[in-house]
């Protein structure tokens, strides 16, 4: 290991040690905060105290699905629902402008401009936030926290990420935020279960998104497999030309699916980022399948005869010599006006018998779609030292 490798290892070790002591110190700080509030630390990364006679769970551990710490204040709510309130982004504004998203408006210009509500029942939001003190508590919480979430009879205020926020947080800050959160939870109507037990549009939007992401992932995986097989047995002379041709096959399917995604997701409160991710995965999947499928069909269905050419070796290179995954490559000069240099791999023993200027035999077939591909390359005749 060179000096640079040692430096990298040392830096990584220092970072891991600092990261460990960060959470160790954080646990000590938050334990003190819980003690000041008359509560206790229930387990590593979690504390519990009572505000207005109700339990407030303080969760400050590192989530399993993230590398960034978060702070979560959680209280119980009387209903089962699913609502997310977050800060409105420029992407949300653009999505609403082109009718991809259909967010319910609260009638409060300031809140409607600053916050984004992922909820499909306008009457629920209006009933919940009709009191001025509730809207005030919501606006105050959103100044310090990233989003507010109501899921499975729990109302939570989440700050994420919060690397340095937790260091300076005081007991009074936690107490004030908990009071505002309880104000939101207590204002939730008790009879809303009958009015909106299921938020169908949002749930349906998430299910469609997950289904389309699954389709895109399967297509991408299949496309990669097709590319690997195609490059192994039917490698084209010009990858760029084949990719361009494959777009004529894949673009119609991409456009159809994108129109489907936009039409089906329009009117839901799914964020524009989710729609963009679905579109990107589907586009990449269709393009990969198009390129790999065209490459396989171009060679597999080809009935043309093999044309043989002789080309001189102009360059030799290798990577990871002596290893199991070592690669020994030979580059030959183009043998026609439209043919550029061509590189292929050879066995190690043959590689060391070759030299610059030796002649290789290249067999080329035209391809059923007009994309020439290499049927064989033979450098054995070069081992005797034949020169052009």
The three-state DSSP-derived secondary structure of the chain is CCHHHHHHHHHHHHHHHHHHHHHHHHHHHHHHHHHHCCCEEEECCEEEEEECCEEEEEECCCCCCCCCCCEEEEEECCCCCEEEEEECCHHHHHHHHCCCECCCCCCCHHHHHHEEEECCCHHHHHHHCCCHHHHHHHHHHHHHCCEEEEECCEEEEEECCCCCHHHHCCHHHHHHHHHHHHHHHHCCCCCHHHHCCCCHHHHHHHHHHHHHHHHHHHHHHHHHHHHHHHHHHCCECCHHHHHHHHHHHHHHHHHHHHHHHHHHHCCECCCHHHHHHHHHHHHHHHHHHHHHHHHHHHHHCCCCCCEEEEEEEEEEEEECCCCCCCEEEEEECCCCCCCCCEEEECCHHHHCCCCCCCEEEEEEECCCCCCCEEEEEECHHHCCCCCC
pLDDT value, residue 380: 59
For residues 141 and 60, give the distance between their C-alpha atoms in angstroms, rounded to a whole number.
17
Q: Which residue has the higher pLDDT, 230 or 112?
A: 230
% of the chain exceeding 70 in pLDDT: 74
Q: What is the mean pLDDT of residues 309-314?
A: 86
pLDDT value, residue 207: 65
Residue 271 banded pLDDT, cuts 50, 70, 90 = low
Task: Inform me whether the pLDDT recorded for 387 exceeds 60.
Answer: no
Q: Which residue has the higher pLDDT, 139 or 207?
A: 139
Task: Inform me whether the pLDDT recorded for 172 exceeds 80.
Answer: yes
Residue 122 banded pLDDT, cuts 50, 70, 90 = low
Query: What is the rounded (10 degree) CA torsion for 93, 97, 98, 100?
Result: 50
Residue 17 banded pLDDT, cuts 50, 70, 90 = confident
% of the chain exceeding 90 in pLDDT: 1
Cβ distance 376 to 306 under 8 Å?
yes
Q: Which residue has the higher pLDDT, 129 or 261?
A: 129
pLDDT value, residue 193: 44
For residues 62 and 45, give the distance between their C-alpha atoms in angstroms, rounded to a whole number.
8
Task: Inform me whether the pLDDT recorded for 315 exceeds 80.
Answer: yes
Task: Inform me whether the pLDDT recorded for 388 exceeds 70.
Answer: no
Task: Inform me whether the pLDDT recorded for 9 exceeds 70.
Answer: yes
Domain boundaries, the chain: 52-198, 203-300, 307-382
Sign of CA dihedral 50, 56, 58, 64: positive
pLDDT value, residue 194: 39
pLDDT value, residue 125: 72
Q: What is the mean pLDDT of residues 311-321?
A: 84
pLDDT value, residue 64: 54
pLDDT value, residue 343: 83
Residue 225 banded pLDDT, cuts 50, 70, 90 = very high
Q: Which residue has the higher pLDDT, 162 or 87?
A: 87
Per-residue pLDDT tens digits for 182-216: 888 887 765 544 344 344 455 555 666 677 778 88
307-382, what's its fold?
A: OB fold (Dihydrolipoamide Acetyltransferase, E2P) (2.40.50)
Q: What is the mean pLDDT of residues 316-329?
A: 80
Cβ distance 245 to 297 under 8 Å?
no
pLDDT value, residue 199: 40
pLDDT value, residue 66: 53
Q: What is the mean pLDDT of residues 33-61?
A: 80
Residues paired with residue 83 on neighbouring β-strands, in sequence order: 150
* Region of 346 on the Ramachandran plot (φ > 0 left; ψ -120 to 50 alpha; else beta): beta
pLDDT value, residue 280: 79
Q: What is the mean pLDDT of residues 354-363?
A: 85
Residue 121 banded pLDDT, cuts 50, 70, 90 = low
Q: What angle do CA 172, 174, 180 make, to 5 degrees?
A: 100
Place of tokens 């030799």: 316
pLDDT value, residue 383: 46
Residue 302's CB is within 10 A of a number of other CB atoms, namely 19
């Amino acid at each position: 290991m060179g000096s640079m490798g040692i430096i990298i290892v040392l830096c990584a070790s220092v970072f891991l040690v600092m990261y460990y002591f960060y959470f160790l110190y954080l646990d000590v700080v938050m334990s003190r905060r819980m003690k000041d509030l008359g509560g206790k630390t229930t387990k590593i990364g979690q504390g519990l105290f009572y505000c207005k006679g109700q339990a407030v769970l303080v969760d400050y551990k590192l989530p399993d699905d993230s590398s960034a710490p978060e702070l979560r204040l959680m209280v119980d709510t009387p209903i089962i629902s699913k609502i997310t309130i977050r800060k409105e982004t420029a992407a949300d504004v653009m999505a609403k402008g082109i009718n991809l998203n259909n967010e319910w408006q609260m009638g409060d210009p300031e809140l409607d401009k600053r916050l984004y509500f992922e909820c499909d029942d306008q009457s629920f939001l209006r009933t919940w936030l009709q009191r001025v003190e509730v809207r005030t508590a919501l606006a105050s919480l959103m100044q310090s926290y990233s989003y507010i979430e109501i899921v499975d009879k729990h109302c939570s205020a989440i700050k994420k990420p919060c690397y340095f926020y937790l260091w300076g947080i005081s007991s009074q800050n936690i107490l004030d935020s908990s009071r505002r959160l309880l104000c939101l939870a207590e204002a939730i109507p008790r009879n809303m279960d009958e009015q909106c037990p299921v938020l169908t549009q949002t749930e349906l939007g998430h299910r469609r998104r997950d289904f389309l992401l699954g389709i895109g992932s399967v297509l991408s995986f299949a496309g990669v497999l097709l590319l690997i097989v195609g490059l192994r047995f039917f490698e084209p002379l010009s990858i760029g030309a084949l990719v361009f041709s494959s777009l004529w096959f894949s673009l119609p399917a991409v456009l159809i699916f994108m129109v489907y995604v936009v039409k089906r997701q329009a009117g839901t409160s799914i964020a524009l980022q989710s729609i963009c991710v679905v579109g990107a995965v589907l586009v990449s999947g269709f393009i990969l399948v198009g390129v790999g499928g065209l490459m396989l069909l171009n060679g597999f269905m080809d009935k043309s005869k093999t044309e043989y050419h002789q080309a001189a070796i102009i360059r030799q290179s290798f990577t990871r010599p002596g290893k199991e995954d070592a690669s020994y490559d030979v580059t030959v000069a183009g043998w026609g006006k439209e043919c550029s240099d061509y590189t292929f791999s050879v066995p190690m023993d043959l590689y060391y018998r070759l030299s610059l200027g030796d002649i290789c035999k290249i067999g080329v077939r035209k391809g059923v779609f007009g994309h020439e591909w290499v049927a064989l390359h033979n450098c054995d005749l070069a081992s005797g030292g034949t020169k052009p």
